[in-house]
Structure 1
Amino acid sequence: MQKIYSAASSVVVWLGDPTSDVALTLDMILEYNNDKRRRTILSYKHDALSGLRKLFQESWWRRIWIVQEVVAARALVIVLGRTIFPWFYLRRVCSAIVRLEFTSGALAPLLRSCGFQKFRDLDSFRAAGAMPVMHLLRSTRDYHATDPRDKIYALLGMTSDLSTQDLAPDYNRPVRKVFQDLVHFMAVRQGSLDLICLGQCLGPDQSQSWLPSWQSEAGKKPFGRKVRPYQAARDTQAVIDMSQFPQTLIAEGIIADAVAILGGSFTIAHECASTILRWYHISTRAKTCSYGDFLEVIGAGVDSARRGQFEPFLQHPRRSRPKVIQKRYNAITRATMGRRFFTTKDERIGLCPAEVQMNDKIAILKGCHAPIIIRARQDHWVIVGEAYVVGMMSGEVLSGPQSDNYRPIMIPLK
């Protein structure tokens, strides 16, 4: 299919027949792109802007196979009924929304919830072209696939480090075997265990906790940065024993710490402020934790010059927030929803899955970009999920001042 899309002069994105609540939105898209005066997007009627949500709720935007269409096509044309416009028309509208996304006006909630980010993600894939398979898997983990195998097969034409020669599509092969094949390829051929951080570990049907599963929708964004990935294991390659694979994945790593105190979690956005305030009080129990460390954990990324702006929010979370703080607050909400704040026995702080329990261990596996939380069983360990831990994300455990205190061991994972 990738060859077909790339050979076509243009590819049509058919979004069906427009409903009445999208008609004004289509007029707005056309008018905005043909208006030489470049009116602000906020000058359009509420109904026109609200129709964007309906537009982005079309099932087309959530199907895994459309990623290949978008990336491979020379030109894209969007069609709704009799209305036709080029892809970049929608890009201009979404760019205008980004510039005003965190405005304090009455339309701010509408702009934030219209679903434009899905278009932005697809557009970034289109601009990037071929990408590493891990980047694509992370970015498309919430896309829909009727057949779970397509979560991998649909990406093969776009990956820079995985081809059909490495993993040939085979719909007769059981789903579990397909994902095992991918883990094996990544671990043995690429020396990477990053894949075990994806999917839903400890799910209801998950007999192998290290085996990713996308069959249920994931509510949390995976840890990771686009510009500079985390390097908890630095640039090490995975050291694995495949003698018991696929029943057991045996990987070399270090059990570096253990969970001591856990904060609560939230699943509704408006509970973010009160939850984070409670986390902040928990963080003060860790003697080595600074205010900057806490901001780092919750995803604020606030530099020292702006921390004075952010502190009043922690003390009075219900007060109105300046635009710069509102933007960071939304980023924090995305990073922390469905997760829990925790402190460790060695007085580190971090963010972890809601399923974590006290005394779960924190491990650094060679070849894995993030720390993982593991839980002891009789003769093996199970993975609970990935974690963000201050003082572990840049390789400190393997090569920091205290690295001699840690002993690498082979960790059997089931």
Structure 2
Amino acid sequence: MDLKKDDDFVYDRLPTADSFRFAYLKPGVGQDPIECELVTRTVKEEVDLATPQWEALSWLWGAHGNLRAIIVNGRKFSVTRNLFIALNHLRLPERPRLLWVDALCINQKDIEERSSQIRQMAFLFHRAKNVIAWLGGGDTGSQVVMRLARYLHDFESGNLSYCDANMIYILALTFGVPAVEADPSNSVFNYWKIHKYENWNYIDRIVDRELFRRSWVLQEAALAKSLVVTCGTETIPWDAFFRAVSLRFSNDRRARDYPTVHQGWSAMQAIENLRQLVATKQRPPDLLELLWACRDYKSTDPRDRIFALLGVSDLLYGHGPRQQLGFEIDYSKPIHDVFASFALSTIAKYGDLRVLATRRSNRAFDNNYLGSWCPDWASLDDGVSLLYRQRQWSGNIIKYRACGDLSPIAWLAAGKTPSMGVLEMGHLVLRGFILDRIAALRHSSYFVIESDRLFDWHNWAVWPDQRGQAKITQPKDQADPQRQDAFWRTVIADADVNGNRQPVYLRAQFYRWYQKVIESSSTGNDSTAETLAGIEDKDFLNRMRHVTRGRCLFETSEHGLLGIGDKDYSAELGGAQLRPGDLIAIVHGGPLPVMLRAVDGPLQKGAERTYRLVGDAFCYVHGMVDGEALRLGTKMENFTIV
């Protein structure tokens, strides 16, 4: 293209608030320049059309510095390499194609327009003729996967034109459909039996494409009436693609037996779950739970972790984020302001403090000036909150009621960052009372260490008068039954893998498992927790590892309570971990007790003590998660959380 810098494209302002742009992708093949023509439309004009003609593109921006040039309205326009490749594959040889692409149709440099257009994305993706999930350029493996998924769809739809004996064997071995008996004398069967794992590897590679873990794809794919998956030159319906991937994982015994789910497959399940909720108009989990479950999806702008999911609220809840939460999509606000406003909005909307449970890696080192109380959605974290029964959202949180029926009493007070001397973030004031102080701790070490250490951990918790003698097997008649009951309930936070409270059926699993730990410790066997657990004890072990990962047991000083809480991960940056002397408090609206640490420094005359939340804020304290602490009659006070 012989275009000079003066020929760069410049956007015209959109004429009305309900206006948006479409891009006509002009025909072309091979090395022809990529050309687009932008046209302006309004919501009313498109609603009046019986059949929408545009297609919306769901894609991954990629590196912003890796740019390519295309022509828009006769002028040069820079796009990322990913979009350049997508447009080159998507254009048709003989006729134009009408697309909505955020990078083309929104003036990304105009903050006001960007905020306004993002609010219309739900309409654009829900009403589009097709939503194209662009996975990127194709290769040999992706071609195999896309074609196998299409053959599987045709076979299950009754179209047998592709399904000769060879294809029947391929589908049977790769997906388990249809059932085909092994025939050692059949060379074709044996050939595809060998290559089954190669097909699974191809599927795993395409499922691992980054698009599925991008924040915006959740809204874009969930709202699509017609969703297609495109990789290189291959395009198939989402339903066919999802069906093939689901059968791959269900047909693999290793994938069924191990609790760790492939991240890409887990992300695809989240997309499909949201699509089903939109299609059937079932009541979904609230926005806070949905956001928590999708917190480790990727986005270039951290604010998009929130904004990307708010667009589904119109269809899921019947009204937008302004009506749902009193919260608005606004890119003119700085990141910390967006995070704080969202947190306060959810507290007011849902009447609880669940938003505080978001795990943070640097509460003590607050480089973003968020305060220890404000969730930092910008940081990726693989931690799992005690409030949720699994990483994937499931419709319900675990029902703890540490504060009984007390609604949250919280407000924002002015606060200053000492090092900056300017107002950066308000302090959150909570109402509640001190339950107890931490007296001693024991770290879990993830339950993947040698068995004698496992026994030591349990020995410390169950028999405090004989600590330091971890390798001495304790006779059963010396065990305190109440203390032992408190222990096994604490390491699973008194809930099973399905989120059901007080799961007494796991007691037998615990005793079987721990007896193996004792025997292994006595014989000096190097077995780990996983190898010691049989299939009959798997529910207890899975839940225990879920709860104990990255946490530590603690005992309190006054009431001798046993609990489990998240350590402060700022330790890697020089800060102290959860430590003796930290406070356990019950606050209004808190489903579980919170962990507080008094901020060091002398108090000025008339000033109140300030505190910092520790770890993921909430902890499990046995016997104090169903309102029992309210019967202690402790005087209420205000906690100023910095």
Partner of 1:164: 322
Cα deviation for residue 221 of structure 1 reads 1.2
2:492 to 287, 290, 298: 298
Instruction: State the alpha-carbon separation in 1 of the partners of residues 150 and 515 from structure 2.
Output: 43
Cα deviation for residue 98 of structure 1 reads 6.3
Residues 50, 173 of structure 1: alpha-carbon distance in 2 compared, 3 angstrom cutoff: same
Instruction: State the alpha-carbon separation in 1 of the partners of residues 448 and 560 from structure 2.
Output: 29
Q: How does 1:8-407 map to 2 (within 5 A)?
A: 8-26=128-146, 28-30=148-150, 33=153, 39=172, 41=175, 45-93=196-244, 95-96=246-247, 99=250, 103=253, 112-113=261-262, 115-129=264-278, 131-159=285-313, 160=317, 163-164=321-322, 166-200=326-360, 202=363, 204=365, 205=367, 207=369, 208-225=371-388, 226=394, 227=396, 228-244=398-414, 246-266=425-445, 270-271=448-449, 277-285=455-463, 288-291=482-485, 293-298=487-492, 301=496, 303=505, 304=507, 306-312=509-515, 314-315=517-518, 316=520, 317-318=527-528, 319=531, 321-326=533-538, 329-345=541-557, 346-355=559-568, 356-377=578-599, 378=601, 379-384=609-614, 385-398=617-630, 403-407=631-635
Cα deviation for residue 350 of structure 1 reads 2.7
Instruction: State the alpha-carbon separation in 1 of the partners of residues 380 and 583 from structure 2.
Output: 26
Instruction: State the alpha-carbon separation in 1 of the partners of residues 246 and 356 from structure 2.
Output: 34
- 2:512–2:537 CA contact under 8 A, matched in 1: yes
Alignment RMSD: 3.4
Instruction: State the alpha-carbon separation in 1 of the partners of residues 455 and 142 from structure 2.
Output: 40
Structure 1 unmatched ranges of 5 or more: none
- 2:490–2:563 CA contact under 8 A, matched in 1: no
Q: Deviations over 1:241-261 (max 9, x none)?
A: 444375321110122122222
Q: Which amino acid aligns with 2:345?
A: F
- 1:260–1:358 CA contact under 8 A, matched in 2: yes
Instruction: State the alpha-carbon separation in 2 of the partners of residues 188 and 285 from structure 1.
Output: 44
Instruction: State the alpha-carbon separation in 1 of the partners of residues 303 and 401 from structure 2.
Output: 29
* Count of residue correspondences: 407
- 1:13–1:76 CA contact under 8 A, matched in 2: yes
Cα deviation for residue 306 of structure 1 reads 3.9
Instruction: State the alpha-carbon separation in 2 of the partners of residues 340 and 352 from structure 1.
Output: 6
TM-score, normalised via structure 1 length: 0.84
TM-score, normalised via structure 2 length: 0.56
Instruction: State the alpha-carbon separation in 2 of the partners of residues 257 and 219 from structure 1.
Output: 29
Q: Which amino acid aligns with 1:119?
A: M
Query: Which moved further from structure 2: 175-184 or 26-35?
Result: 26-35
Q: Secondary structure, in 3 states, of the residue corresponding to 2:426?
A: coil
Residues 297, 215 of structure 1: alpha-carbon distance in 2 compared, 3 angstrom cutoff: same
Cα deviation for residue 391 of structure 1 reads 2.0
Q: Deviations over 1:165-196 (max 9, x none)?
A: 52222212111111222233233454332212
Partner of 2:636: 408
- 2:372–2:641 CA contact under 8 A, matched in 1: yes
Cα deviation for residue 91 of structure 1 reads 3.8
Instruction: State the alpha-carbon separation in 1 of the partners of residues 428 and 452 from structure 2.
Output: 40
Cα deviation for residue 383 of structure 1 reads 0.3
Instruction: State the alpha-carbon separation in 1 of the partners of residues 543 and 352 from structure 2.
Output: 28
Instruction: State the alpha-carbon separation in 2 of the partners of residues 361 and 35 from structure 1.
Output: 62
Partner of 1:4: 124
Q: Percent identity?
A: 22
Instruction: State the alpha-carbon separation in 2 of the partners of residues 92 and 314 from structure 1.
Output: 42
- 1:50–1:110 CA contact under 8 A, matched in 2: no
Q: Which amino acid aligns with 1:380?
A: T
Instruction: State the alpha-carbon separation in 2 of the partners of residues 312 and 31 from structure 1.
Output: 51
Query: Which moved further from structure 2: 355-364 or 337-346?
Result: 337-346
Query: Which moved further from structure 2: 339-348 or 35-44?
Result: 35-44
Q: Secondary structure, in 3 states, of the residue corresponding to 1:289?
A: helix
Cα deviation for residue 357 of structure 1 reads 1.5
Instruction: State the alpha-carbon separation in 1 of the partners of residues 443 and 429 from structure 2.
Output: 32
Instruction: State the alpha-carbon separation in 1 of the partners of residues 226 and 641 from structure 2.
Output: 46
Q: Which amino acid aligns with 2:200?
A: L
Instruction: State the alpha-carbon separation in 2 of the partners of residues 350 and 376 from structure 1.
Output: 20
Q: Deviations over 1:223-257 (max 9, x none)?
A: 22453433222342111244437532111012212
Cα deviation for residue 139 of structure 1 reads 0.9
- 1:283–1:294 CA contact under 8 A, matched in 2: no
Larger radius of gyration: 2
Q: Secondary structure, in 3 states, of the residue corresponding to 2:363?
A: coil
Instruction: State the alpha-carbon separation in 2 of the partners of residues 252 and 313 from structure 1.
Output: 45
Instruction: State the alpha-carbon separation in 2 of the partners of residues 92 and 112 from structure 1.
Output: 17
Residues 409, 173 of structure 1: alpha-carbon distance in 2 compared, 3 angstrom cutoff: same
Per chain length, whose mean CA-contact separation is higher, i.e. which structure has more relative contact order (CA < 8 Å, sep 6+)? 1
Instruction: State the alpha-carbon separation in 1 of the partners of residues 381 and 227 from structure 2.
Output: 29
